[in-house]
């Protein structure tokens, strides 16, 4: 039996390493950081614990497994006793508050990480054994995943394959995807079914069209008319692309910021990427450069007054556009190509074009029609429709 588990562990490793190799082409700094973290004492302790820690969960006949809380807007449509959330401390608190079942993610993540980078088998073989034992009783198991490119997602995908036909994996899109000069497997590539924001994304993600269903964004957002426009620079994030990439973007932003200050009287904010907020000194530097740091809740921001968003391509740029905000994309040399519809594409050599565009919008005070507002159904209703059409469950 352990030979079979080792074979599955090797398949998990192949899928993980193939994605890492693709990602490393344009984000070597991030992969190097992950490899180095394998030797951190905290991670060594975690992998030792993963050798012995079993998931202790009371299971229902039909079980819905959610990877984290990214899709928590959809969790509530299921009975609490039928839901298992896999995650960390935040997920544990959420599960306890609403009566869901919970299991820790770190034993799986540590086991996969040590298999990938050190070819260490004991922990991943034991985790496969423990989870298959835990899932032996349910007659039907649906995995709702955020990704199938990272250790947790890939592990759960292979668990689902082992338990076929009583198990099914559904990857729910949580961020925008774009075509890249160096191809990389998008989330959903290993999953049985994909729920996407937009059918256009399915082509970029290389999803199986016959098993892909559009559900839109997981919330409703629409910009409000206003006489006082605001500008927000979207932080590019620091961890993936390395110091030079990040510093070059910030320098371009600074140049734009200075010209906007000279040519307009609009309020201007810098909205850090979540991983920028992890560095307190960096936030101080950014505050000194841009004066105002936006820390508002994303959905509140998107449902607020019309705002001009400026940044490189990101999920927030897409979401802002859907909500009816004007968006301008900064094209960076050697960066990926973009299929997301933006109101303006510009590069560092034609910043004056951007400034004129901003001034024109400010003078006209116009607002786009929110694309999502055209949808008649709520995000939850669209999700349930997708469950029905995909014949994932008969409970609705």
Query: What does the alpha-carbon distance between residue 238 and residue 245 come to, in Å, rounded to a whole number?
Result: 8
Mean pLDDT of 249-276: 94
CATH H superfamily, domain 230-364: HAD superfamily/HAD-like (3.40.50.1000)
For domain 2-216+379-389, the CATH class is alpha beta
In this structure, are residues 142 and 171 in contact, taking their beta carbons and an 8 Å threshold?
no
Structure tokens at 307: 């705002």
According to DSSP, residue 251 is labeled H
Average pLDDT, whole number, for the chain? 91
Mean pLDDT of 148-157: 98
Query: What does the alpha-carbon distance between residue 195 and residue 213 come to, in Å, rounded to a whole number?
Result: 5
The residues facing 86 across adjacent strands are 67, 103
pLDDT of residue 183: 81
Q: Is the pLDDT of residue 18 over 70?
A: yes
Angle at 90 between CA 120 and CA 81, to 5 degrees: 90
Q: Which SS3 state, helix, strand or coil, does residue 49 take?
A: helix
Mean pLDDT of 318-327: 93
pLDDT of residue 374: 46
Following CA atoms 111, 112, 116, 120 in sequence, which dihedral angle do they give, to the nearest 10 degrees? 30
Query: What does the alpha-carbon distance between residue 266 and residue 287 come to, in Å, rounded to a whole number?
Result: 17
Query: What does the alpha-carbon distance between residue 374 and residue 48 come to, in Å, rounded to a whole number?
Result: 52
pLDDT of residue 278: 87
User: Do the domains spanning 2-216+379-389 and 230-364 agree at the CATH topology level?
Assistant: yes
Lowest mean pLDDT among 279-293, 322-336, 360-374: 360-374
Query: What does the alpha-carbon distance between residue 83 and residue 198 come to, in Å, rounded to a whole number?
Result: 27
Q: Is the pLDDT of residue 307 over 60?
A: yes
Q: Is the pLDDT of residue 141 over 80?
A: yes
According to DSSP, residue 219 is labeled S
Q: Which SS3 state, helix, strand or coil, does residue 284 take?
A: helix
**Could you state, in order of their start, the residue ranges of all structural domains in the chain?**
2-216+379-389, 230-364
């Amino acid at each position: 039996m352990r030979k079979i588990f080792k074979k599955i562990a090797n398949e998990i490793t192949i899928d993980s390493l193939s994605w890492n190799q693709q990602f490393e082409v344009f984000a070597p700094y991030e992969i190097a950081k992950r490899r180095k973290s394998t030797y951190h004492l905290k991670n060594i302790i975690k992998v030792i614990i993963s050798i012995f820690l079993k998931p202790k969960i009371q299971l229902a006949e039909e079980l819905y497994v959610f990877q984290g809380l990214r899709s928590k807007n959809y969790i509530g449509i299921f009975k609490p006793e039928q839901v298992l959330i896999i995650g960390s401390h935040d997920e544990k608190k959420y599960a306890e508050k609403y009566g869901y079942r919970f299991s820790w993610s770190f034993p799986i993540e540590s086991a996969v990480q040590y298999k990938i980078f050190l070819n260490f088998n004991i922990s991943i073989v034991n985790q496969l054994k423990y989870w298959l034992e835990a899932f032996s009783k349910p007659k039907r198991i649906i995995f709702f995943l955020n990704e199938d490119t990272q250790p947790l997602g890939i592990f759960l995908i292979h668990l689902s394959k082992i338990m076929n036909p009583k198990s099914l994996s559904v990857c729910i899109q949580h961020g925008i995807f774009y075509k890249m000069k160096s191809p990389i497997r998008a989330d959903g590539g290993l999953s049985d079914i994909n729920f996407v924001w937009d059918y256009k994304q399915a082509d970029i993600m290389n999803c199986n069209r016959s098993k892909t269903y559009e559900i839109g964004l997981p919330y409703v957002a629409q910009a409000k008319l206003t006489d006082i426009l605001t500008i927000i620079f979207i932080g590019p994030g620091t961890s993936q692309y390395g110091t030079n990439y990040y510093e070059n973007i910030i320098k371009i932003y600074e140049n734009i910021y200075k010209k906007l200050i000279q040519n307009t009287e609009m309020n201007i904010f810098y909205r850090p990427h979540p991983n920028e907020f992890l560095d307190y000194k960096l936030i101080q530097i950014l505050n000194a450069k841009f004066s105002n740091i936006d820390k508002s809740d994303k959905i509140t921001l998107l449902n607020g007054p019309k705002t001009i968003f400026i940044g490189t391509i990101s999920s927030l740029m897409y979401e802002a556009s859907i909500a009816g905000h004007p968006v301008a994309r900064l094209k960076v040399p050697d960066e990926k190509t973009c299929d997301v519809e933006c109101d303006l594409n510009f590069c560092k050599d034609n910043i004056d074009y951007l400034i004129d565009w901003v001034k024109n919008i400010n003078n006209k005070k116009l607002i786009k029609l929110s694309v999502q507002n055209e949808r008649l159904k709520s995000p939850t209703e669209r999700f349930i429709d997708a469950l029905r059409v995909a014949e994932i469950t008969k409970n609705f």
